[in-house]
Amino acid sequence: MSNHTRIMMKLGSYTFGVDTAAYQSLSRTTKYRWAKHDRPGKRPRLEWSGPGEEIISLPGTVYPTYAGGLDQIDDMREIAGAGDPLQMVDGYGTVHGYWCITNIRETGRYFLPGGAPQKIDFTMDLIYYGASLS
């Protein structure tokens, strides 16, 4: 099996893969905006005001002693800390526009002598930036 078929997704220069940082699920929330207009003695009237935020949450697992090493979550944080929207491309080559990393959580488990975790659970949260950078 080629390395390409083991890629789940690329987010900017970061690669999520079966052999490295693999997300276990992908949760996508799309919000829709409705403005509320109060009316005396009646329920508020709602007015469609357009699409809202689109958010993706990627919970996953890294086994640093198996593949990819201990720096994988630090690499995620470095990319997020640059403050740039990142192009998302899935493993089939479909471009999903640009996304911004808003949050990274990690939990280390099953520690080796010296404190290195054998398993790291992570969650990366993203918000949609747009189809292009312009």
Looking at domain 4-29+55-130, its CATH class is mainly beta
pLDDT tens series, the chain, 134 aa: 344 558 899 999 999 988 878 899 999 999 999 999 999 999 999 999 999 999 999 999 988 877 777 888 999 999 999 999 999 999 999 999 999 999 999 998 888 898 889 899 999 999 999 999 88
Please give the structure tokens belonging to residue 127.
Answer: 């918000």
pTM score: 0.83
Task: Give the residue extent of every domain in the chain.
Answer: 4-29+55-130
